[in-house]
Structure 1
Amino acid sequence: MLWLYNISIHLYALLIRIFSTFNTKASLFIKGRKNIFTQIDQKIVAGERHIWFHFASLGEFEQGRTLLEKIKEHYPEKRIVITFFSPSGYEIRKNYPLAEGVFYLPLDTAVHAEKLIAAFNPEFAIFTKYEYWYHYFRELNKKNIPLLIISGIFRPNQVFFKVYGSFHRKILTFVSHFFVQNEESIQLLKTINIQNASLSGDTRFDRVAENAASVKRLALVNTFCGTAAVCIAGSTWPEDEELMGGLCVQHPDWKFIIAPHEIGEAHLKALEKIFPQAVKYSALAAADANQHQVLIIDNIGMLSALYAYGRLAYIGGGFGAGIHNTLEAAAFGIPVIFGPRYDKFQEAKDLIALGAAKSIGNPQELSNAFEELSTAAEKGDVAKAYVVSKTGSTDQILQYIARHFKP
């Protein structure tokens, strides 16, 4: 199976190179990895030990960020290095100040793994939620470097638990310890004879609770909102935005803030057609906020602060691969609505069970959910209490790491 895995990695590289001729993300993926080891040599002090954090993308960075920052707070002498797989993570956080260096992760080959780990000289490697790379994990194991998976989550339909998943199960044996989100993951790992797992919950709860407690007010957004009730639509895709367009017409007394997942020029133009009464954030300072019902956020990085202005939130992605982060909104004490594809997200199921969230599949269901949740302030309190009750994962992982740091 290893030969098939290696072929798939090289085939993936070829496909990305082809896509890079017409796709911006693919182009960044290729350009960012050009001369990657020269980039590393220029930034990393040779021979120094590091704590290596790897994140698939921006969402996983935010998920593991609290742990990273706690380590730096408690052990300021520790050097941290970060890798990203996706451009959407790297391009936003490439200048993150607490890291000695932030890099793209070279594709998983034996040569790359040996060179990268030799350069980073990790004292610990910490991967958030997922991404299981055979050569990187094997090389860490060979060098007796502890490898942690934090906020991990496993489901029965994953390849690890299939009769044909022996190769992928082998990858899991290279992990020193799994910190997982739920009891189901613990039990699933036991079925394949993996016992080194702890139920710690999800570090995202710590991150969103911390963010809600320290959020900075945004003067322009505050002016736009005024005294109106506000619905925040976060990380939206076209299917979500079409639904929100109808909702705006139904509720002219509300204001809406749309923070799309993609902010390319073509997408922003499409949004302006759906929301003709909108103003973009980049033009807000020169606009009369009272004349606009909708604010379109045309930058990246503001969403987590925007929920402070909401009475209700709509979370995008539920008509595609899966919903985005519901916890950011819930931490601010506002109920949430999202599309039908949320089965991979335990927090979404929990919020629905508590009555603090609704899943919808069409305009009528959205209208009904909006009417119900927008008039039930106590549901927001339930959402916030749920988030607070789930905090503490970061401290549990930090205690494990502290026991294993060498003096």
Structure 2
Amino acid sequence: MELKLYRAGWALALPAVRMLLARRGRGAGMRFLEERLGRDWQARAPGALWFHCASVGEVMTACPLVRRLHARGAAPLLVTTNTPTGARTATRVLPGAVGHAYLPVDTRRRVARFLDRFRPRALLVCETEIWPELYGACHRRGIPVVLFNARLTERTLRAPAWLARLYAQALAPVRGVLARSEGDAERFRALGAHRVQVVGNLKWAGCPADPAGPPPSAVPYWAAVSTHEDEELRLARIERMLPSDAPVLALVPRHPERGPAIAARLRAAGFGVAVRSRGEPPAERIWLVDTLGEALRFMAHAELVFMGGSLVPAGGHNLLEPARLGRAVVVGPHMEDFAQETEDLVEAGAVVQVDDEGEAGRTIARLLADAAARRALGQAAAAFVAARGETVLEAYLAELHAARLPLDRAPA
């Protein structure tokens, strides 16, 4: 019954999905639309060990695992994504021998056509994606499925009853759910998954990224990265508390398209703002970085990094990125999405967590006035992340072998 409802929903939604894909795929060429709609695929990777990564974040998470398997001779390897940005990231960070295709939308005919084309020997799904048609077709064809770095939100558990039952049916034959945390494991079990175990967060391992490039400015700055609405004003108030000779604040919002609204609100509150997208240098105390793809560069050269989404209840963002770069990192109280990682880094003396805006201001002022303390904090962070990353990566490889997946090479 649940699967019939799901299929009926797809049948009704397909015209709108086609239009949505056409709009999202502008600039990506016809390949995106053709492959997402299951018409044809350019890649050739029969018998591949197949990784599915929804978009950029999942590609970066899977990257160290894919690279390690490639280095150990696993072939052929295929990565699918849902988005053009995910495809570009895969091309940039993964070995050239790794094939790429777009995953088709989850209908019987399109999934069957994909599986006929690639005949994968196993499917490894990064993080959250649960596609009932895809999982069911893999089960019927004897293709083992494993979820790795698996995470699940409370919102998924609150899905309508028929959809929750469908998720449970899809997960029932899965070979393994390798969860990033105990909380995620508990949620997968509550959803009906079997063979669930906690391995850890693969984001610890990281992925060799493009060089950060030269500093964006000769003017010293501290960076608040992935900020959210209402957070920028709080950080601007902290900047106002600092001495006049302190580094300026580079605000790097989570969604750069919010730039005009952020600038208008800060100016209305009496703050001077330089806007990077207009080519303005950091002549003001606040430098709004409303440009795409520069977060890494700004983190790499910052005197200090404040991780956004943590002064407001947004769950926080990936503090492992600046920690891996050896930056001094400060986070607010709302790090629910990275709770275990934050706890581990704080206990190791590698990150500072504050309770509120006032404490954030005092901590940032203290660290900006003490280069030795910033350096020690950054060095501790980089060392801790490197050691934990290798441990977690090897643990995932061990669990994939224990799941009896055909990791090495496709049968001749």
TM-score, normalization by structure 1: 0.77
For the residues of structure 2 that align with 1:10 and 1:360, how far apart are their CA atoms?
Answer: 49
Change in Cα spacing, 1:95 to 1:120, as seen in structure 2 (3 Å) is farther
Change in Cα spacing, 1:158 to 1:277, as seen in structure 2 (3 Å) is closer
Residues 353-382 of structure 1 deviation map (CA, whole Å, 9 limit, x = unaligned): 666233566x54542443455555354455
Which one-letter code corresponds to 1:181 in the other structure?
R
CA contact (8 A) 1:181 1:201 kept: yes
Give the alignment partner of residue 78 of structure 2, picking from 58, 68, 81.
81
Kindly indicate whether residue 59 of structure 2 is the aligned counterpart of residue 61 of structure 1.
Answer: yes
Residues 270-326 of structure 1 deviation map (CA, whole Å, 9 limit, x = unaligned): 455547442527847xx6x7x455554454434234323233212233447532211
Three-state SS of the structure 1 residue aligned to 2:256 is coil
Q: What is the deviation of 1:100?
A: 5.3
For the residues of structure 1 that align with 2:326 and 2:92, how far apart are their CA atoms?
Answer: 31
Report the identity percentage.
20
Kindly indicate whether residue 116 of structure 2 is the aligned counterpart of residue 118 of structure 1.
Answer: yes
Q: Which moved more, 1:324-333 or 1:249-258?
A: 249-258
For the residues of structure 1 that align with 2:377 and 2:18, how far apart are their CA atoms?
Answer: 48
For the residues of structure 2 that align with 1:59 and 1:348, how far apart are their CA atoms?
Answer: 19
Change in Cα spacing, 1:337 to 1:394, as seen in structure 2 (3 Å) is same
In the alignment, what sits opposite 1:244?
235
In the alignment, what sits opposite 1:216?
211
Which one-letter code corresponds to 1:218 in the other structure?
G
For the residues of structure 2 that align with 1:9 and 1:28, how far apart are their CA atoms?
Answer: 26
Q: What is the deviation of 1:148?
A: 1.9
In the alignment, what sits opposite 2:324?
331
For the residues of structure 1 that align with 2:7 and 2:176, how far apart are their CA atoms?
Answer: 26
In the alignment, what sits opposite 2:176?
177
Three-state SS of the structure 1 residue aligned to 2:33 is coil
Q: What is the deviation of 1:91?
A: 5.6
Q: What is the deviation of 1:188?
A: 5.8
For the residues of structure 1 that align with 2:127 and 2:362, how far apart are their CA atoms?
Answer: 34
For the residues of structure 1 that align with 2:126 and 2:277, how far apart are their CA atoms?
Answer: 32
Residues 235-287 of structure 1 deviation map (CA, whole Å, 9 limit, x = unaligned): 233433333333333334213333333334xx344455547442527847xx6
Change in Cα spacing, 1:338 to 1:2, as seen in structure 2 (3 Å) is farther
Which one-letter code corresponds to 1:115 in the other structure?
R
Kindly indicate whether residue 231 of structure 2 is the aligned counterpart of residue 235 of structure 1.
Answer: no
Which one-letter code corresponds to 1:85 in the other structure?
N
Kindly indicate whether residue 306 of structure 2 is the aligned counterpart of residue 311 of structure 1.
Answer: no
Q: Which moved more, 1:11-20 or 1:305-314?
A: 11-20
The gaps in structure 2 that reach 5 residues or longer are none
In the alignment, what sits opposite 2:385?
387
Which one-letter code corresponds to 1:84 in the other structure?
T
Residues 12-41 of structure 1 deviation map (CA, whole Å, 9 limit, x = unaligned): 6566567789xx658789977532279874
In the alignment, what sits opposite 2:100?
102
Three-state SS of the structure 2 residue aligned to 1:132 is coil
The gaps in structure 1 that reach 5 residues or longer are none
In the alignment, what sits opposite 2:276?
280
In the alignment, what sits opposite 2:6?
5
CA contact (8 A) 2:327 2:379 kept: yes
Three-state SS of the structure 2 residue aligned to 1:75 is coil
Give the alignment partner of residue 367 of structure 1, picking from 361, 364, 370.
361
Q: What is the deviation of 1:175?
A: 1.9
TM-score, normalization by structure 2: 0.76
CA contact (8 A) 2:316 2:336 kept: no
Change in Cα spacing, 1:196 to 1:3, as seen in structure 2 (3 Å) is same
CA contact (8 A) 1:57 1:86 kept: yes
In the alignment, what sits opposite 1:203?
202
In the alignment, what sits opposite 1:257?
250
CA contact (8 A) 1:84 1:90 kept: yes
